[in-house]
Amino acid sequence: MPRYSASTEVAATPDTVWRVLSDVEGMPRWTGSMTSVRIVDGPNPPDVGTAVRIEQPGLPLAVWTIDDWDPPRMFAWTSAVPGVRTQAEHVVEGADGGRSQVILTITQVGPLAGLLGALTRKRTRVLVDTELAGLRVRAESGTP
């Protein structure tokens, strides 16, 4: 089961981080890891069951479905291709001094997860790290 997790401390409150993170269609404005994000089915703001179409550099177009939405603490979405289900989890925790700890985790499961994970390992790490860095900069700037 391939898995990659990265975290960073953000000099912003969890509520501020959540406002940035939960505007899923706005993600391309603050991260180079996504070129297009569009809700294709479900409510906006999103909730469990919302389907989101995401274009990312170096990866095929994918539809992700939100399977956990717990404001202002976390959300997770899942995308599947034959033989592999990928879940991306976004967690925001409070830290000392009005700061936040953000943890992003990608997990792949299924009979072809090992193979796909090996083929996409480097790209996945770059995209997760890019998203995390962009989120930190955007939340610290105070711009939602």
d(CA 36, CA 90): 18
Q: What is the reported pLDDT for 139?
A: 97
Query: Using one digit for the tens of pLDDT, what is the confidence trace for 102-128?
Result: 999 999 999 999 998 999 999 999 999
- Say if CB 131 and CB 33 are below 8 A apart: yes
> Does the structure show a pLDDT above 80 at 83?
yes
**Sequence-distant (≥ 6) Cβ neighbours of residue 49 within 8 angstroms:** 42, 65, 66
> Does the structure show a pLDDT above 80 at 2?
yes
- Domains of the chain: which residue ranges? 3-141
Q: What is the reported pLDDT for 143?
A: 75
d(CA 86, CA 100): 26
Helices (H), the chain: 14-22, 113-141
Q: What is the reported pLDDT for 1?
A: 85
What CATH number was assigned to the domain covering residues 3-141? 3.30.530.20
Q: What is the pTM of this model?
A: 0.94
Q: What is the reported pLDDT for 38?
A: 98
